[in-house]
Amino acid sequence: MIDFLKSILGREPAGSKNLAKERLRLVLVHDRATVSPHLLESLKEDLIKVISNYMEIDREALDVQLNRDDDSVALVANIPVLKMKRTYQDAQV
């Protein structure tokens, strides 16, 4: 619980511990949703790219998961928005 709060408040530095956690989470998602970790990571990068065209996001706090219940799979994305960009042109700069 304390690790969760630290990550929410941004007090936990990005390091090998967090990278290992993220990789483990991707492996667990793969097991649950029958999706390769590489595919999930590609999906995450594509989401970042598209959403960044319209708003500034906190890439460090971004969380993308695939949740599986019985026969259905849900994509759950928690993407903290820092601010909206005024125009699409701003995103290209």
Q: What is the pLDDT of residues 27-59, one digit of tens each?
A: 666 566 566 778 878 888 888 899 999 999 998
SS3 (DSSP) at 59 = coil
The pTM (predicted TM-score) of the whole model is 0.51
What whole-number distance in Å separates Cα of residue 72 and Cα of residue 36?
A: 17
Helix or strand holding residue 44 (H, E): helix 37-51
What whole-number distance in Å separates Cα of residue 44 and Cα of residue 77?
A: 9
Q: What is the mean pLDDT of the chain?
A: 75
SS3 (DSSP) at 10 = coil
